[in-house]
Structure 1
Amino acid sequence: MYNPTVARLTYRALLGRRRALILFVLPALLLVIAAAVRGFSGADDQTASDVLGGFALATMVPIIGVIAGTGAIGPEIDDGSVVYLLAKPVKRPTIILTKLIVAIAVTMAFSAVPTLLAGLILNGNGQQVAVAYTIAALVSSIAYAALFLLLGTVTRHAVVFGLVYALVWEALFGSFVSGAKTLSVQQWSLAVAHKAAGNDLITSDVGLPTATVLLAGVTIAATWYAGRKLRALKLAGDE
């Protein structure tokens, strides 16, 4: 269910000069912020948690997920070049799963690694803050990649809708509106981080069992529906 050729083409598309530059901006900004906060405030566990939760998990991870998830397939559908891929003797579920794996890998690399480094800069992993948020970034990367890959298959405006979800729903409603928190990938990953940290520096309004089920359910459902949408695309020879 993994095709190396599809993976190579997807990596090349995602890590091209222009898109890679965008991917590096937010991680670099996080590290600059972490260094500045440490320089001005010193090592403080609560401050470290606030920075990693408020910027890394709430902003950086979902935006990188948007770039990687939608970019894994959206441009090919938009410009019509996907027909050349679909004409190859590769099963369409294999195409989706391969692109999902690539999107997850890119999202993890550009979000979890900077989160860990920023946490170490901020407080040297005091109270397990750096490791806990890194685990949250890894877990949320999977769900975000699946969600935004699905968006890339269903709309030509996937990036716009993805950013609205990431910046309005996740960062605003998912953080401050109680009823919306249950439907927030950020809150689900915070539940995992809370368990990993083992303290109250990291909290979530969603319990770990619920968060685990929702993370897995959304990832599986989004992947399945993306595969279904791709199978629905018709080539001229399919008629």
Structure 2
Amino acid sequence: MYDPTVARLTYRALLGRRRALILFALPVLLVVIAALVRGITGADDQTASDVLGGFALATMVPLIGVIAGTGAIGPEIDDGSVVYLLSKPVKRPTIICTKLIVAIAVTMVFSAVPTLVAGLILNGNGQQIAVAYTVAALVASIAYAAIFLLLGTVTRHAVVFGLVYALVWEALFGSLVAGARTLSVQQWSVAVAHKVTGGDIVTSDVGLPAATVLLVAVTVLATWYAGRRLRALTLAGEE
């Protein structure tokens, strides 16, 4: 379920000059914010959790997921070059799985690594906060990549809808509105972070068993439906 040629082309598309600049900008901003906060407040566990949860997990990770997930396939569908890819002797599920793996890898590298660095800057991993949010970022990267890859196969405006989801639902409603938190990838991943810390610094409205089931279900269903959409696109092109 993995094709090296498809992977190489997808990496090249995602790490092109313009997208690479955007991908690097958010992690750099997080590290700068962490350094400034540490300089102003010193090492404080609650402050570290607030910064990592409020900016890294609620804003940076979903935005990077939007860029990687939609960019893995959306541009090819928009400009019609996906027809050439589909004409190759590669199974459609293999194409989707390969692009998902690439999107997950890019999202993880550009979100989890800077989250760990920022956490170490903020409080030196006191109470395992840096590691907890890093693990949460890794887990969230998988679900976000699948969701936004699906979005890239569903609409030509995937980036716009992805940004609305990331900034409005995840960053705003997912953090502030109690009812929406149970349907937020952010809160599901925070449940994982809570388990890692084992304390009260990191809290989630969703229990770990439910969060695990929801993360797996969303990832599997999004990947499956993206494959169906790609097969439908193939049939339309062949007709």
Structure 1 residues 67-216: aligned runs within 5 Å: 67-216=67-216
- C-alpha separation between the residues in 1 aligned to 2:197 and 2:18? 37
Conserved in 1, the CA contact under 8 Å of 2:86 and 2:234?
Answer: no
Stretches of structure 2 that go unaligned for 5 or more consecutive residues are none
How high is the TM-score relative to the length of structure 1? 0.98
Which one is further off, 169-178 or 68-77? 169-178
The corresponding residue for 1:51 is 51
The one-letter amino acid paired with 1:215 is L
Assess, with a 3 A threshold, how the Cα gap between structure 1 residues 199 and 80 changes in structure 2: closer, same or farther: same
SS at match of 1:233: helix
Could you say what secondary structure the match of 1:234 adopts?
helix
How big is the shift at 1:236? 7.4
SS of equivalent to 2:234: coil
What one-letter code is carried by the residue in structure 1 that aligns with 2:19?
R
With normalisation by structure 2, the TM-score equals: 0.98
Alpha-carbon distance in structure 1 between the residues aligned to 2:4 and 2:106 = 15
- Segments of 4+ moved more than 2 angstroms: 234-239
> After superposition, what is the alpha-carbon deviation per residue over 1:64-115, rounded to whole angstroms, capped at 9, x for unaligned?
0000000000000000000000000000000000000000000000000000
Write the deviation string for residues 33-71 of structure 1: whole angstroms up to 9, x where unpaired.
Answer: 001111111111111000000000000000000000000
> Does the 8 A contact of 1:108 with 1:137 survive in 2?
yes
Structure 1 position 235, deviation (Å): 5.8
How far residue 238 of structure 1 moved from its aligned partner, in angstroms, is 2.8
Q: CA RMSD, aligned part only?
A: 0.9
Query: Per-residue CA shift, 1:175-198, capped at 9, x if unaligned?
Result: 111111110000000000000111
1:238 maps to 238
* Alignment-mate amino acid for residue 30 of structure 1: L
Aligned residues of 1:69 and 1:145 also touching (Cα < 8 A) = yes
Relative to 1, partners in 2 of residues 1:99 and 1:40: Cα closer, same or farther, differing over 3 Å? same
